[in-house]
Structures are given as C-alpha cells and as structure tokens.
Amino acid sequence: MPDAETTDRVAHGDTVGDMTTFTADLPEGRVWRYGWMFGAIWLIYLIYPLNEILSLESLAARVLGIAAIVGFGVVFTVTFWRFRNGHRRGNPLPVWQGWIALGAMLALTVAMSALIGTTGFGATIYIAVLGMMTLPVRQAWSLVAVMVVIIEVAPRVIATWEPDNFFAFQLLISAAAAWGITQVFQRNHELAVARQQLADLAIVAERERMSRDVHDILGHSLTVITVKSELAGRLLEIDAARAAVEIAEVETLARQALADVRSTVGGMRQIDIGTELASARTALVAAAIDVDLPGDADAVPLRHRELFGWVLREAVTNVVRHSHAQHCRVALTPSSISIVDDGCGPAEDTCGGNGLRGLGERVSAAGGSLTVARVPTGGFKVEVSAP
C-alpha cells in the first residue's frame, strides 16, 4: 500500500517511465533539490543546433549562439522545475509567468534560427511541450498553431533557409503527446483528491455509526436501569427483599452497559435479534408492560439478525420511555419485524428523535424500509421490511 508521500507524487505526475522508482525512493528534500534534472535531461536534443553553431566561421556568432542555447536551456529547466514542484506543493505556476518564460524561449529560438537557419526550429518542440504544461489548453494550442505557421512560412520566404515539410508534423505530434501527458497528470490529481474525499467521508460515516451505536446502546440500557431503580425505590418500604433483587439487577445492567460501550468503541459489539428479544422482555416487564414476544428468532436469516436487533432495541426503548402503554406486541418474520403498543402514540407530524433518525439510517443503508405510524387503536407502530 503506497504511503501518502508516494500517492501525492503519483497524483501529480511524477511517475513517467523509469523515473517512477527513482522519484518514489527520493526523500522530499532531495526530490525538491534535484527536480530540475527531469527537465534538463531532455535538453540532450539541443546538441543538433549546438553542432551547427560550433561550425560557424565567426567567433562572435559562435559565442552568441552558445549563449542563446545555454539561456534557452536554463529558462526551460527552471520553468519546468518551477512547474513540477509548484504543482506537487499545491502552488501551480501562474500563467503569466509561463508566458514570460515561453516568450524568452521564443526570442532565443529566433536568435538561433537567425544564425543557423531552420535547424534552430528544433527548439520549438521544447516551447510546445512547456506551453502545453503551463498554459490553458486554448492558449497552448494557439501558440502551437502560430509556431506551425511560422515554421511552414518562414523557410519559404527567406531564400537562404531550406523548408522542412516534416518538421511541422513533428511539432504537432510532440504537442499532442505533451497534452495527453498533462491530461493524465490532471486525472491522477483529481483521482487523488477524490480518494482523499472518500477517506474523509469514511471518517464521517464511522463517527456517525459510532454515535448511533452508543446512543442506541446507552439509551436502552439506561432506560431499563431508570425503570428498575424507580421500582426498587417504591419497593424499599413494601418489600425490601424484592427491592434488593431489583437493585442487584440494576448493578448487573450497569456493568453490562459499560461492557457494551467498551465493545462498541472497540468495534466488537454484535447485536443479534435473539439476545435482544430476551433484553426486550426484561425491559418491558420491569416497566409493568404486558408483552407478547415470539418464542425465538430462528426464522430470521443471518443477514437480517443484526438489523432486526437494532430495530427491536430502539423500538422497545421508546415504548418504555415514552408510550405509557399497557401492552406491547412484537411480530417477527424472516423478512420483517414490527413493534406495536397501545400507548399514546406519536405526536402529529413527528419525525422522531435521534434514535429513530439513526434507525432510519441503518435501515436505509441495509436497503430496507422503515414505517413509523399511529395504529387505529391510538398506539405507536414501528415496522421494518428487509430487502
């Protein structure tokens, strides 16, 4: 699995040919320090105009030509280095700086061509490639089109120059290749940004899942603890032995709630409809609510057992906490679960609290449907149909 630094290099186009391993293995400081080498290596093709300049008879012309080639190479290398490292560091080369560099290179190319004729046109390939990297697409192609016209027209206007019918085609091919590579760089960068966004979304989704789990677990456990504590308080003066039993159960529930929170934070909490049926019976009986539960949950397939467990836990918590019901019935099938009570029912236009919203998110993520409504007898109904 590549680290963040390597991913960033890939995203900004630092992996071309055999340079992939070399770039990925360099520390950040060395990549920054030696980045100019990736541009300077291509200057080897300037050896052809350099040979023509060295064969000139005039010493002054040779000195001027060499200075033009050296200046051209320096401008190209520095601009390429600035573009490459600026792009990697999120500080791209401004367009106006690109135009200044390209203008200087054009002027130096004109100087070389004035000394050695059409051989100097070889430098225009560097201009086309750099223009494709540093300029907007329309501006870059406009620059290439102007250079193609000059390459085709100038040798036919200047009598001492020899036309090269193939060079304009080479220039267009080089520009197209540079444009294609630039598009790959851009797509890689967009892919890296998309990956980072997905990672951020995954973090947000995990936080939401954690908050739902903790809310549902603590909401249910603390509701049962509250009901049993109230019952124990009422029994203290009537039946001290029964009150002691209830307090012992409160202690057990509190310890279980603590264990559930720890296991949830650790990612090991497993909710199952079978265990939740037993918990639901305990909670409803403690709240003095008659309960009608299925004998077992064996008919529920494995893929639905966790979802139905969460549904039952949240629905029973709401019945105990809010419904003031006398009776609660749970119906269970392999593909659905419903919890109905005869209490006061939901308020008009209710959208539910955090628990029901979290439950709706769970059901939606599982591809099921959630129904929360008033029943004809006035109570509350929560029903989930699994896909």
Give the model's confidence band at 264: pLDDT under 50 very low, under 70 low, under 90 confident, else very high. low
Query: Which letter does DSSP use for residue 14 in this model?
Result: -
Mind giving me the DSSP string for 130-181? HHHHHS-HHHHHHHHHHHHHHHHHHHHHSTTSPP-TTHHHHHHHHHHHHHHH
Strand order in the sheet with 327-333: 290-292, 327-333, 336-341, 380-385, 369-374
* Orientation of helix 95-116 relative to helix 47-54, angle to 10°: 40
Residue reference for tokens 């797509």: 187
Pairing of strands 290-292, 336-341: unpaired
Does the model's pTM come out above 0.75?
A: no
Q: Give the tens place of pLDDT for each residue, 338-376.
A: 999 988 765 554 445 667 787 888 888 888 899 888 887
pLDDT at 362: 83
Lowest mean pLDDT of 79-83, 263-267, 311-315, name the range. 263-267
Maximal CA-CA distance, the chain: 123
Give the CB-side neighbour count of residue 198, counting CA atoms within 13 A: 6
What is the rounded average pLDDT of the residues 86-107? 81
pLDDT at 6: 38
Kindly give, in sequence order, each residue whose CB lies less than 8 Å from that of residue 357, ignoring residues fewer than 6 positions away: 351
pLDDT at 37: 66
pLDDT at 353: 62
> Is residue 369 helix, strand or coil?
strand
**pLDDT at 297 > cutoff 70:** yes
Helix (H) or strand (E) holding 101: helix 95-116
Query: Which letter does DSSP use for residue 159 in this model?
Result: T
Are 10 and 184 a contacting pair, CB within 8 Å? no
Beta strands in the chain (DSSP E): 290-292, 327-333, 336-341, 369-374, 380-385
Residue reference for tokens 């055999």: 18
